[in-house]
Structure 1
Amino acid sequence: MTKERLLGILHADKEEMNEVTREACVAEFSRVAAEYFETEGDVTMNVHRGRSSSEVTVTFRANRVKNFTMVK
């Protein structure tokens, strides 16, 4: 396998997230955030692609934390 072909395969593997996947991901982060926080507004997600990895930032507003209580 040539170096160029291998780089092409690796690049395709790190392809940008499509809209369907992005919507599903944001919906899942919204669900999880609502389990731990009383949220306000929309959850947003940004993906910044670096050279060898991506930085993912999930942002939302929280009015309060939903603390768990231990039942004995």
Structure 2
Amino acid sequence: MLSRSRIPSLPALNSTLGELARGARPHQAISLYNRSRCEGFFFPDNCTLPLVLKASSRLSFLRKGEELHCTSF
């Protein structure tokens, strides 16, 4: 779904992040989040951050969790 459009909608991105974070590929959720932010696709909303926090906690990426916490304020 995301590969078909150049700039995905935020709900589509959140849906994909959720699937990746809850599934067997939390590292891909973090990669997608980072790539989307760097390319200026979106600014995360109150649904995005918990999904990426879930992925980072599953991988024990403390630094990423701290970074996201700072982003949310």
State which structure, 1 or 2, has the greater radius of gyration over its C-alpha atoms: 1
Structure number having the greater strand percentage: 1
TM-score normalised by structure 2 residue count: 0.32
